[in-house]
Amino acid sequence: MDPGRSTLADWLGQVSWLLQPLVDRIADHVMASPKLHANDAPVPVLAPGAGKTATGRLWVYLRDNRRWRPSDKPATLLSYSSDRRASGRAST
């Protein structure tokens, strides 16, 4: 018997806190870059009770300095905010 989608989503939500130290380390590495590429993209988000979708923002931060420092490790950080003010930017 396969667990349902909602069961799997619930399990992942309950253990996601285990990954937070890894997310924090990646965020520290990305944001410490002397050169940082950033972009945001609008994403549709369900608006509970409204019967429609709202627009959230997915922020992408890229660190890639290999051209100048070949030993530097590239990395990407994704962050979500509910509006363009980016109150959730660079926080995970």
pLDDT over 60 at 89, yes or no: no
Q: Quick check: is 25 in a domain?
A: yes
- Total structural domains within the chain: 1
Q: What is the dihedral of CA 28, 29, 32, 34, to 10 degrees?
A: -160
Q: Quick check: is 60 in a domain?
A: yes
| Residues in a beta bridge with 30 | none
Q: Quick check: is 71 in a domain?
A: yes
Lowest mean pLDDT among 7-11, 15-19, 33-37, 87-91: 87-91
| Domain span including residue 61 | 19-81
Helices (H), 1-92: 5-15, 20-31
Q: Quick check: is 41 in a domain?
A: yes
Give 72-82 pLDDT, tens digit per residue: 889 999 998 88
User: How many other C-beta atoms are found inside a 10 Å radius of the C-beta of residue 30?
Assistant: 20
**Beta strands 75-81 and 52-63, pairing class:** antiparallel
Q: Quick check: is 56 in a domain?
A: yes
